[in-house]
Amino acid sequence: MKICAATGNPGKLAELRRILEAQGHTVLSQKELGLDLEPEETGETFAENARIKAEAFCRASGLPTVADDSGLCVEALGGAPGVYSARYCGRHGDDEANNDRLLAEMERVPAENRGAKFGSAVCLMLPGGRALTCLGECPGRVAFERLSGDYGFGYDPLFIPDECGTPEGKRPKAEGRSYAQLTPDEKDAISHRGQALRRLEEQLPAFLEKETK
């Protein structure tokens, strides 16, 4: 299937493309399709925002469209930044400033209270208006400092997942590595977005079959 990826975030596009193309799909970015849209994300949940973006780009491209909305939910902050993850600092897409604010707000929080999870909603919208939304989440904790590596984006340097692994099997998360320090295969195997996209792939045949009836 030829799919429009409704994101201008290079890191997120790379993950969507890596996972979806491994499943046999062709992924086209909004830049490759000549689209310059920024739909207003007015939803109160990841699922609502993913659908808003998928619908806007599907209408503009005429192609089946996948949109993801995701973020970090921190227990000590009452679930924040949540749907405001990308603009937590007051500006959209400033990863460094978002990380700085999170570190400042978590400065006095002890290790035992730094639980968090990444959540993702992936919405596939078809030109006819039907949509399929799948969810995924990955539990972990917030680090005391950036644990930067060769991979990742956003809050990845500050998020330590509870486990890591490869598609062949998970193993205990003993090394204390952040999302940004995991290899792409390790991250895709456990990440919130990887889980949501695998569920989408599992449900897609039945979903598309209804489209032909």
The catalytic residues are: 69
What are the contacts of 44-50 at 24+ separation with CB within 8 A?
A: 44/83, 45/83, 45/121, 46/70, 46/71, 46/83, 46/119, 46/120, 46/121, 46/135, 47/121, 47/123, 47/133, 47/135, 49/83, 49/121, 50/121, 50/122, 50/123, 50/133
Backbone phi and psi for residue 152, each to the nearest 5 degrees, phi listed first: 85, 170
